[in-house]
Amino acid sequence: MKQRIKNSSLKESSRRWLQRHMNDPYVQRSKAEGYRSRAAYKLIEIDDKYHLLKPGMRVIDLGAAPGGWCQVAAARTRSSEDSPGVVGIDYLETDAVPGAVLLQMDFLDDAAPAKLAEALGGAPDVVLSDMAAPTTGHRRTDHLRTMHLCEVAADFAISVLRPGGHFLTKTFQGGTEAELLTRLKQNFRSVHHVKPPASRDESVELYLLARDFKGRLKAEGDGEG
């Protein structure tokens, strides 16, 4: 049964958003299955298809709040509280996730990469990023700000991944990413866009999936594009 919003003080656009959110099957499923957000299903669907997360892997999650992706990563890598193999970072406070270490700091902070490396204790097999810049309401500005986060996340992944590792990041439709795609293709053996079913059809959100990292020395010297 569909729920309706009765608060008369809400703007019509806000009312429509709330109503859609409350009646979203992924939202209802996340509450029933104990995930922090519907976004968890985006990672689940991508991983079901591409098999990125395997037991024993080390994973870094950029923009981890509210923790849904860390929950999925910890479960699928079988990360334990005694020896966590998943590290998440976000400037927002995030409730504890069993099997994950959560750092509350801005990923753009100069000290963040070293903190992540220290917490993980080794090179990651997978770098995940669901980061998006806070919206300003100006679509072009929001797109550029999120693309900047995507580029910084890619630079980080290339600097820390072990050979054969994978990188998954949120991006938006709308161009300005040719340079980023070229860089990823130089450093990974497979690069393509993914839109999981849990990503709403009307959303401009896409994910960039770069698989099988070539390794830093080889990537710098092979000249492939």
| Nearest by Cα to 133 from 114, 153, 117, 113 | 153
pLDDT at 121 over 60: yes
Mean of pLDDT over the chain: 85
* Residues of the domain holding 91: 37-221
pLDDT at 12 over 80: no
Cα–Cα nearest to 210, from 120, 146, 144, 126: 126
Tell me the C-alpha to C-alpha distance, in Å, between residue 113 and each of 3, 98, 101, 147: 44, 22, 14, 19
- Averaged pLDDT, 99-104: 98
Please report whether residue 7 resides in a domain.
no
Query: Is residue 203 in some structural domain?
Result: yes
CATH number at residue 49: 3.40.50.150
Helix H or strand E encompassing 59: strand 59-62
Domain-embedded: residue 61: yes
Q: Which of 49, 170, 185, 214 is catalytic?
A: 170
Answer yes or no: is 91 within a domain: yes
The tokens 């439709």 sit on which residue? Answer: 173
Give 75's contacts (C-beta < 8 A, 6+ positions apart): 99
Find the range with the poorest average confidence among 13-27, 31-45, 62-76, 191-205: 13-27
Which residues, other chains included, contact 192 with Cβ-Cβ below 8 Å and sequence gap of 6+?
208, 209
Q: What six digits make up the tokens of 14? A: 């806000």
Q: Is residue 11 in some structural domain? A: no
Per-residue pLDDT for 2 more than 60?
A: no
Q: Is 80 part of a structural domain of the chain?
A: yes
Over residues 6-20, the mean pLDDT reads 54
pLDDT in tens, 14-42: 555 455 555 566 666 667 666 778 899 99
Question: Which contiguous run of DSSP H or E holds residue 103?
Answer: strand 100-104
Domain-embedded: residue 41: yes
Residue 218 a catalytic site member: no
Which ranges of the chain would DSSP assign to H, the alpha helix? 12-22, 25-33, 40-50, 68-77, 112-120, 139-160, 178-187, 216-221
Rg over CA atoms, the chain: 18
Band the pLDDT of 68: cuts 50, 70, 90. Answer: very high
| The total number of structural domains that make up the chain | 1
Considering the domain boundaries, does residue 25 fall inside one?
Answer: no
